Copies of this chain bind each other. A is one copy, B any other.
Amino acid sequence: MSAPVPKQPPEPGAARLAGEGDPRPRGRIGAWFIGARGSVATTATVGSLALGAGLGARTGCVTELPEISGAGLPGIGDIVIGGHDVSAVPLTKRAEELAASGVVPAHLPAALTDALAAVDARLRPGVRALDEEPQRATAARVEADLRAFRDEHRLDRVVVVDLTSTEPPAPQTPALSDPDALERALDAGESPLPGSSLYAYAALRAGCPLVAFTPSPSVRPPALTGLAERMGLPWAGSDAKTGETLVKTALAPLFATRALQVRSWASYNLLGGGDGATLASADNAASKITTKGRGLESILGHPVDGPLHIDYAPDLGDWKTAWDHISFEGFLGVRMSLQFTWAGCDSALAAPLVLDLVRLMARAHETGATGPVGAFGFFFKDPAGSEEHRLAAQWEELTAWCARAAAGGGA
């Protein structure tokens, strides 16, 4: 027997808007990280605890900028963190590893031992895509974990963020094509969901807004987007824009608006860490390469030649180095070039965006937003609900949304 899909948002009292002049939201906020022991999630957790304890500056937090912070967002330090992971390595150990490789300051793990242990106690075992148990049961367990977290901490809303290892693209199957087909398949004992989508399913069923931070399928198959619609829940994604693509979508409009013809754009990425190891598999990298490629064609208005590689360089750890070479043509056909080298710390770039998105999604949920929040495209390589890839234009959309939210209005 299938669990009935509720037609109404399960948290009726939540969508109350803070009155004008009082944009700070009522209520307590939870963040639930799928992949909570990964580099990005751990950095976000360390950062949230550190900022809450006044142990660091808010550099890198978009929601701290004046154009955004007025939108009635929950405080960074007020977020209660929990999550799933298939790994059991303690958060303190992960934090120490990140400190050793320079991702977080050396002194923080020790200073936050207790706070990290408290989060650790809230983490639940994750589920693997290949588990034998039918997904109906697995999903119920995940959903129960989420509900228990919300209840136990008396949270007004819980934002779920997918921070697991990147999965291959999802096959297009009938079961993923609409919510009813999905329910029928699950009822039939089938397990049609990619891992990330299983979590998304459970999150939506639990009434939680969702952030697809990775390029994995997650909420994007029609069965899940349809479910979000039915549940009246907002979501945002996919694949956070933190490095080479970020630079790309800042630079490409230069060529477009100066009428310079991009002839080829080569993109090479070197990265280590867990993410690098996962992407060393061509299958998993496929998702990433697809989302990375999307922006350029959209901004330039034509397909663009040029290789795009993601290579695993274990010795670089969380540090990513990307080199892009752009060959372009100007007046009367003259050939010119621009090249850039980006040397960024991936987890440190991603972590504050995780917290930003938790705060923004909580506010979106509060204002009653439903479906993909296109105005959050600023954060993503493959922005759901928007065709806009130009970074500056996305910034305008984001700040406009925030201005409306500050004024007490919905998205």
Q: Contact at B330–A352, with CB atoms within 8 Å? A: yes
The CA-CA distance from A332 to B60 in the complex, in Å, is 8
A177 within 8 A of B: no
- List residues of chain B with CB within 8 A of the CB of A57: 332-333
User: Is there an interface contact between B348 and A332, defined as CB atoms closer than 8 Å?
Assistant: yes
Q: From A352, which residue of chain B is reached at the shortest CB distance?
A: B331
| Stretch binding the partner chain, chosen from A8-16, A104-112, A132-140, A218-226 | A104-112
Cα-based distance from A38 to B194 in the complex (angstroms): 51
Query: Is there an interface contact between A327 and B307, defined as CB atoms closer than 8 Å?
Result: no
Q: A250-B254, A338-B342 are in contact. Are A331 and B264 (CB under 8 A)?
A: no
Q: B348 contacts A327, CB within 8 Å?
A: no
Task: Tell whether A181 is near chain B: CB-to-CB under 8 Å.
Answer: no
Q: Given that A306-B313, A331-B348 are known contacts, is A340 also in contact with B343, CB under 8 Å in the complex?
A: no
Q: Give the interface segment out of A115-123, A154-162, A255-263, A290-298.
A: A255-263
A197 contacts chain B at the CB level, 8 A cutoff:
no
Given contacts A59-B330, A329-B59, contact A343 B336 (CB under 8 A): yes
Nearest B residue (CB) for A241: B258
Cβ of A80 within 8 Å of any chain B Cβ, yes or no, is: no
Interface size on A, residues (CB 8 A): 74
Residues of B within 8 A of A43 (CB): 331-332
In the complex with contacts A253-B250, A254-B250, A306-B313, A104-B264 CB distance below 8 A: no
Q: Which residue of B lies closest to A394 (CB)?
A: B257
Cα separation A391 to B378 with both chains bound (whole Å): 17
In the complex, the count of this chain's copies comes to: 4
Contact B247–A254 (Cβ < 8 Å): yes
Write out the residue numbers on chain B whose beta carbons fall within 8 Å of the beta carbon of A277.
none
The CA of A333 and the CA of B99, in the complex, are separated in Å by 12
Closest-by-CB residue of B relative to A313 is B264
Assess A315 versus B395: contact at CB under 8 Å? Given A64-B259, A341-B341. no
Q: Beta-carbon contacts of A309-339 to B below 8 Å, as 1s and 0s?
A: 1010111100001010101011111101111
Q: How far is the CA of A340 from the CA of B250 in the complex (A)?
A: 13
- Cβ-closest chain B residue relative to A307: B311
Query: Provided the pairs A106-B106, A307-B309 are in contact, do residues A62 and B259 lie with their beta carbons within 8 angstroms?
Result: yes
Instruction: Chain B residues near A340: list those with CB within 8 A.
Output: 338-341
Residues of chain B within 8 A (CB-CB) of A288 are none
Q: Which of A97-153 contact B (CB under 8 A)?
A: 102-106, 108
- On chain B, the residues within 8 Å of A56 by CB distance are 332-333
The listed residue (B268, B345, B390) touching A330 by CB distance below 8 A is B345
Could you list some 14 contacts between A and B, CB below 8 A?
A57-B333, A58-B259, A61-B331, A62-B259, A106-B106, A246-B254, A247-B254, A247-B338, A250-B251, A257-B392, A266-B270, A330-B352, A331-B352, A338-B341
